[in-house]
Amino acid sequence: MKLRAITVGTFATALIFGVIAIAIASSTPKVQEPSDTAAYYKSKCVMCHGKKAEKKFDTTLSDEQLVEIVLKGKKAEKPPHMPGYAEKGVTADQAKAFVAHMKQLKATP
């Protein structure tokens, strides 16, 4: 009888710790990798460019110019300026993906 109580107790404790561990793991923000375009955009770019890439995104520039700006940055007339992301580990292909992602965001109402 006592043994059964201990077994049930151990099982319940393990279950509680499991639930807590899952809760902590899912609430801690993950470090965003530039390869995860949408998540990285949300965590690093959205504060300046907006959810729909509606801010500071001049689509009359060519794709090459846009990619270049993502990689090297751009001085705006007044701060905040566009940071260069090449030095943060963003590759040319990833920069292309950001530009495509931003165009898509801007195009979807």
Interacting residue ranges for ligand HEC, rule: CB under 6 A: 44-45, 47-49, 56-58, 61, 66, 69-70, 74, 76, 80-83, 85, 98-99
Smallest gap from Cβ 77 to ligand HEC, in A, equals 6
Q: What residue type is 106 in one-letter code?
A: K
Torsion, CA 71, CA 75, CA 81, CA 86, rounded to 10: 10
Kindly tell me which of 24 and 58 has the beta carbon lying closer to ligand HEC. 58
Smallest gap from Cβ 109 to ligand HEC, in A, equals 20
Smallest gap from Cβ 31 to ligand HEC, in A, equals 14
Angle value at C-alpha 29, between 54 and 100, nearest 5 degrees: 30
